[in-house]
Amino acid sequence: MYGSDFAADPHGHYARMRAAGPIIPVELAPGVNAWLVTGYSLALDVLRDTERFTKDPRSWAALSEGRIPEDSPVLGIMMYRPNALFSDGAAHARYRGAINDSLSRIDPHALSEYVERSAETAIDSFAERGEADLLGEYAAIIPLLVFNQLFGSTPEQGSELVRVTAIMFDATSDETTQANVDMLRYLADLVEAKRHRPGADVTSWMIAHPSELSDEELMQQIALLLAAGTEAQMNLIANALRLLLSDDRFAGELSGGSLPVQDALDEVLWTDPPLANFGARFARYDVEIGGAWLRMGDPVLISYAAANNDPELAGADRIGNRAHLAWSAGEHRCPADGTARAIASVAIEKLLDRIPDLELAVPAERLTWRPGPFHRALTSLPVRFPVLAKPTPGPAPGPASGPVPASAPVPPLSSAPPAGTSTARPSGSESGDRRRPWSPLGEWWRGR
Ligand code: HEM
C-alpha cells in the first residue's frame, strides 16, 4: 500500500482486495504487515469492538518482538504515545474529556471569522499572479493559521511551528530527528507560556481542565491535535477543491453559494476521505473476524475509503448522507469533525467567492497523489485565474500581524506522517515545479 501504483488508483486496488473478502492481509511499508478491513459492516463492528481490540500499540506483537524495521516510516503514525488515540478505557476517557471539553469552548462565529481572514490573507498572497498551487499556497496554510490562533501561539512560536512542520513533512531523516526535538521544544514552550499567562485558547482550556493533565500529558494531547488535524484538514480542502474544479456536475455553480460546497465535501468524505486507511487497532487475543484468523497482537487498519465505497451500500444517496466513515466511528471517532468541516467550508467558499473564475491549470487526470498507506493527498493543485486587483488592506491574521485576538478559531498542523510515506512527488504542474507542498508556508509567514 506504499507504492505509487496504489496512490495512482486506490479504488482499483480496493475493488480487487474486496473480492478476497471484507478483511485481507496487506503490507503497509516494507516489512510491515497488517490486516485491512474493506467491508463497511465489518469496519463498524471492529471500530466499536473494545473487547477484542485495543488501540494501544504496545500490544503490537511484531513491534515488541523487533520485527518492524526501526526506521520504518509507519512508526511515526503507529507508535505508542500517551494520548487519546492510543489509549483505552479510563485513560482514554480522561484524555478525550479534556480534548472534547476544550474544543467545545471554541466560538463557531469567531472560528468562521478567523478562517475567513486567514483565507483572505492567503488569497492576497497570490491574487496578483493569476496562478497558484492551491495545495501549498492555500489548503496547507489555512489549518496552520487556525491552529496557531486556536492554541494561542505567539508570533515567534507560530513561525517556529511552520519551520518545523515543513521539515517534518518532507525532509531527510537527519533533519527529521532535529525537527522532532524542535517540535517538543515548541510544545513545551507553549504549555509553559500558557501556564503562566492563560488566555482564551484551547491550550489554556486544557490546562485548566479538571482532569489535571501533567505538562507531559498536555504536550502529548496538543501534539495529537496537531497531528490529527492539520494534514487531514489540508487534504479535505484540497480534495474538495479538486472535485469542484474538475467535475462537470459542479460547473457553473462555483459562485452560486454554499450548496455545491457542502455537496462536494460530502462526496469527498465518501469517496476520497483524507484519512483513507487509518484507525489502527490490535487484536487482544487470537480471533476470527470476517473469515480471517488474526493472531494476538496483529494490527488491523480500517479502510474508510474502501468501506465507504462498499457495494453493500450501493444505491444509498450520498448527498446530505453522512453515514460515511471518514471521521471513523465508536469511542475514537474524530472529536473535531464539525470544526474540521466548518474550516473547510469557509475556506472553500471564501476562495470561490473571491475567485469565481478559478480553473485547473492541468487536466484533472494529470494531478498526482502522494504515495503512502494512510492518506489521500494530492502532490499539488495548480490553478489559474484572471489576475485580481490588489486587495484592500485589512487586518492580517497570525504571527506576522501582531497580537492575535483572544477569541478565535481552530486546529492543527500535521505532525509527521512519516517522511518516507509522505515524500512529495514531482508536481503535476506544466512547469514541473518540485517545491515541497509546505515550502511556501515559511516564506509566506516571513512575508515573502
Ligand atoms: C478533515 C479533517 C479531519 C479528518 C478527516 C479526521 C479524521 C479522524 C479520524 C478518522 C479519526 C479516528 C481515528 C481512529 O479511529 O483511530 C480521528 C481522530 C481524532 N481526530 Fe480527527 N480528523 C480531522 C480533523 C481533526 C481536527 C481539526 C482535529 C483537532 C482539532 C482532530 C482531532 C482528532 C483527535 C484528537 C482524534 C483522536 C480521538 C480519540 O482517539 O479519541 N481531527 N480523526
Give pLDDT tens digits for 308-358. Answer: 999 988 776 766 678 899 999 999 999 999 999 999 999 999 999 999 999
- Identify the H or E element spanning 186: helix 173-196
pLDDT digits (tens, 9 = 90+) for 252-305: 655 555 558 999 999 999 999 999 999 999 999 999 999 999 999 999 999 999
Q: Of the ranges 75-84, 166-175, 265-274, 371-380, which one carries the lowest mean pLDDT score?
A: 166-175
Residue with cell 490546562: 207
Residue 82 pLDDT greater than 60, yes or no? yes
pLDDT at 72 (0 to 100): 87
Q: Whose CA is nearest to atom 38 of ligand 1?
A: 332
Give the DSSP H/E element, type plus range, for residue 23. strand 23-29
With a cut of 80, say whether residue 420 has pLDDT above it: no
pLDDT of 319 reads 66
> Lowest-pLDDT range, 158-172, 324-338, 359-373?
158-172
Nearest 5°: the CA angle 275, 94, 100 is: 55
Find the 333 Cα to ligand 1 centroid distance in Å: 7
Q: Pull the grid cell for residue 273.
A: 476521505
* Residue 34 contacts residue 280 (beta carbons within 8 Å): yes
User: Mean pLDDT in the chain?
Assistant: 84
Q: What is the average per-residue pLDDT within 177-199?
A: 90
Torsion sign across C-alpha atoms 222, 219, 276, 146 = positive
Q: Specify the residue with its C-alpha closest to ligand 1, atom 41.
A: 332
- In a mutational test of the pocket of ligand 1, which residue from 324, 334, 345 has the highest number of ligand atoms less than 8 Å from its CB? 334
Q: Provide the 3-class DSSP secondary structure of residue 134.
A: coil
Query: Which residues make Cβ contacts (< 8 Å) with residue 438, sequence separation at least 6?
Result: 136, 140, 165, 166, 169, 170
Dihedral angle over CA of 122, 376, 353, 360, nearest 10: 90
**Number of residues that this document lists for the chain:** 448
pLDDT at residue 168 in the model: 67
Rounded to an integer, the average pLDDT of 390-396 is 56
Which residue, judged by its Cα, is nearest atom 4 of ligand 1? Answer: 232
Residue from 7, 28, 8, 4 nearest 302 by CA: 28
Query: What is the pLDDT, as a whole number, of residue 322?
Result: 80
Contacts of 76 (CB under 8 A, 6+ apart): 415, 416, 417, 418, 419
**Residue 292 CB: number of other CB atoms within 10 A?**
18
pLDDT at 160 over 80: no
Which position has the higher pLDDT, 177 or 74?
Answer: 74
Residue 408 has pLDDT above 50, yes or no: no
**Domain coordinates of the chain in residue numbers?**
4-445
Amino acid type, 108: P
- The pLDDT of residue 204 is above 80: yes
pLDDT above 70 for 57: yes
Q: Which residues line ligand 1 (CB under 6 A)?
A: 84-85, 96, 99, 224-225, 228-229, 232-233, 236, 273-275, 278-279, 326-328, 332, 334-336, 339-340, 411-412
Question: How many angstroms does the Cα of residue 430 sit away from the middle of ligand 1?
Answer: 34
Average pLDDT over residues 110-132: 94
d(CA 288, CA 292): 5
CA 90 to centroid of chain Cα atoms = 26
For ligand 1, what atom is nearest to the CA of residue 329?
Answer: 15
> What is the model's pLDDT at position 426?
30
pLDDT at 77: 84
What Å distances lie between residue 443 and 96, 106, 169, 349, CA to CA?
35, 29, 16, 25
Pair 432, 156: CB distance under 8 Å: no
166 vs 70: CA distance, rounded Å: 23
d(CA 44, CA 62): 25
**Alpha carbon distance 156, 351 (integer Å):** 28
Say what the pLDDT of residue 219 is. Answer: 95
For the chain, percent of residues with pLDDT exceeding 90: 66
**Cβ neighbours around 447 below 10 Å, total:** 8
Least confidently predicted of 52-61, 68-77, 192-201, 325-334: 68-77
Residues 6+ apart with CB under 8 A from 302: 36, 37, 43, 46, 47, 277, 278, 279, 281, 325, 328
Q: Rounded distance, CA 319 to CA 250, Å?
A: 13
CA proximity to 309, closest of 13, 86, 1 = 13
pLDDT band (50, 70, 90) for residue 437: very low
- The alpha carbon of 85 and the centre of ligand 1 are apart by a number of angstroms equal to 9
Pairing verdict, β 32-37 and 299-303: parallel
| pLDDT score, position 425 | 29
* Nearest atom (ligand 1) to Cα of 224: 35
Which of these CATH numbers, 3.40.50.1100, 1.10.3720.10, 1.10.630.10, 3.40.50.720, describes 4-445?
Answer: 1.10.630.10
Whether residue 104 contacts residue 202, with contact meaning beta carbons closer than 8 Å, is answered with no
CB 381 within 8 A of CB 277: no
Q: How far is the CA of 255 from the centre of ligand 1 (A)?
A: 30
Residues 6+ apart with CB under 8 A from 441: 136, 140, 141, 144, 162, 165, 166
CA count, 13 A, side-chain hemisphere, 266: 14
| Whether pLDDT at 445 is above 60 | no
| Average pLDDT score over residue span 204-229 | 93
Choice between 193 and 155, residue whose per-residue pLDDT is larger: 193
How high is the pLDDT of residue 399?
A: 38
